[in-house]
């Protein structure tokens, strides 16, 4: 990026590259006064001027441009939000719109009429910026203002390209973030569905296992009950056979004979 512009020819040489810079032109413009050194900023270019009062006090101001407008920036307390303030060029009065910025900063947006007068004028005068009228020489202003606009247009274009690239990068990052968020959400949904299906499968398996165990227990209980019933039936049948055998006359014991009385013996004593 161009650090400063020392004149139209110097700017053209710097912009045309090493080949253009190495080939000096016979029609090169003379160097500008030191007051018209153009420096690029983030959004345009600037020229620092010094307004001098009768007492010798110096008040710095700055001319800025983005290639479309030229503004005079300054510092002053208690500025209104906006107002029309005059400046004088070769004692001719020109009113321009003033806008208050942050703090005590102010910006005087120069009209095309004011800029045209500055290009041809010799002295800039400002009466309201300090306690005494201030003036500055406009020597070299024609080339200086042209270079300021050219540099401002280039810097503004560079700034717009940079901002567009940054915005495009932010848009891409946002698109990628949204795509990633969507993919993550879809993946989470798939994982949730898989987890739900796995939980359902485990529940079905556990239910089937409980059913199998219940059926096995029921079958075992039924088998035990059947065995118990068979055992009881066998025992009942055995008892019945025993009873039948007990009633068989062949197994009836013979009746007891009448017992004879015990013998009596003679005892003479």
SS (H, E, C) the chain: CCCCECCHHHHHHHHHCHHHHHCCCCCCCCCCCHHHCEEECCCCEEEEEEEEECCCCEEEEEEEECCCCEEEEEECCCCCCEEEEEEEECCEEEEEEEEECCCCEEEEEECHHHHHHHHHCCEEEECCCCCCCEEEECCCHHHHHHHHHHHHHHHHHHHHHHHHHHHHHHHHHHHHHHHHHHHHHHHHHHHHHHHHHHHHHHHHHHHHHHHHHHHHHHHHHHHHHHHHHHHHHHHHHHHHHHHHHHHCHHHCCCCCCCCCCCCCCCCCC
CATH number (domain holding residue 21): 2.60.40
Distances (CA, A) of 95 to 84, 114, 133, 147, 192: 6, 8, 16, 24, 71
**What's the domain range around 121?**
8-165
- Structural domain contains residue 122: yes
What is the full per-residue pLDDT of the chain (269 aa) written as tens digits? 434 444 443 343 333 333 333 333 334 444 444 568 999 998 899 999 999 999 999 999 999 999 999 999 999 999 999 999 999 999 999 999 999 999 899 999 999 999 999 999 999 999 999 999 999 999 999 999 999 999 999 999 999 999 999 999 999 999 999 999 999 999 999 999 999 999 999 999 999 999 999 999 999 999 998 989 888 888 888 888 777 766 666 655 666 665 666 666 666 66
Q: Provide the residue count of the chain.
A: 269
Whether 214 maps to a domain, the answer reads: no
181 part of a folded domain: no
**Contact residues for 6 (Cβ-Cβ < 8 A; gap 6+):** 31, 32, 37
> According to the model, what pLDDT value does residue 177 have?
95
Render the burial of 152-186: b for 16+ CB within 10 Å, e for the rest: bbbbbeebeeeeeeeeeeeeeeeeeeeeeeeeeee
> Does the global pTM surpass 0.85?
no
Output the pLDDT for position 261: 67
- Residues 117 and 141 sit within 8 Å (Cβ to Cβ): no
**Are residues 99 and 72 in contact, defined by beta-carbon separation less than 8 angstroms?**
no
Asked if the structure places residue 139 within a domain, the reply is yes
68: CB partners within 8 A, 6+ apart: 152, 153, 156
Asked if the structure places residue 211 within a domain, the reply is: no
179 within some domain? no
Domain count along the chain = 1
Burial of 95 (0-12, 13-18, 19+ CB in 10 A): middle
The answer as to whether 189 is a domain residue is: no
Q: In this structure, is residue 31 part of a structural domain? A: yes
- State the pLDDT at residue 242: 77
Q: CA 233, CA 169: separation in Å to the nearest integer?
A: 93
Residue 121, CA distances (Å) to 63, 131, 138, 219 in order: 16, 24, 6, 117
């Amino acid at each position: 990026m161009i650090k400063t512009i020392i004149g139209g020819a110097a700017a053209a040489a710097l912009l045309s590259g090493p080949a253009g810079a190495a080939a000096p032109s016979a029609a090169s413009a003379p160097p500008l006064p030191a007051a018209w050194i153009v420096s690029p900023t983030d959004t345009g270019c600037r020229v620092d001027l010094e307004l001098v009062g009768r007492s010798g006090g110096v008040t710095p101001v700055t001319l800025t441009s983005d290639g479309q407008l030229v503004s005079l920036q300054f510092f002053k307390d208690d500025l209104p939000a906006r107002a029309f303030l005059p400046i004088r060029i070769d004692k001719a009065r020109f009113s321009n719109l003033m806008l208050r910025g942050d703090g005590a900063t102010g910006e005087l947006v120069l009209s095309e009429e004011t800029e045209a007068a500055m290009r041809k004028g010799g002295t800039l005068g400002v009466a309201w910026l300090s306690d005494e009228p201030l003036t500055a020489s406009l020597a070299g202003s024609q080339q200086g203002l042209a270079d300021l606009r050219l540099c401002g247009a280039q810097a503004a274009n560079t700034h717009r390209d940079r901002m567009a690239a940054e915005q495009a990068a932010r848009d891409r990052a946002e698109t990628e973030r949204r795509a990633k968020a969507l993919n993550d959400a879809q993946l989470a949904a798939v994982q949730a569905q898989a987890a739900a299906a796995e939980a359902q499968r485990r529940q079905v398996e556990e239910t089937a296992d409980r059913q199998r165990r219940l059926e096995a227990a029921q079958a075992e209980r039924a088998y035990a009950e059947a065995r118990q019933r068979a055992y009881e039936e066998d025992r009942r049948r055995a008892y019945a056979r025993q009873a039948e055998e007990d009633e068989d006359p062949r197994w009836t014991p013979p009746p007891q004979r009448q017992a004879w009385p015990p013998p009596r013996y003679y005892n003479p004593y």
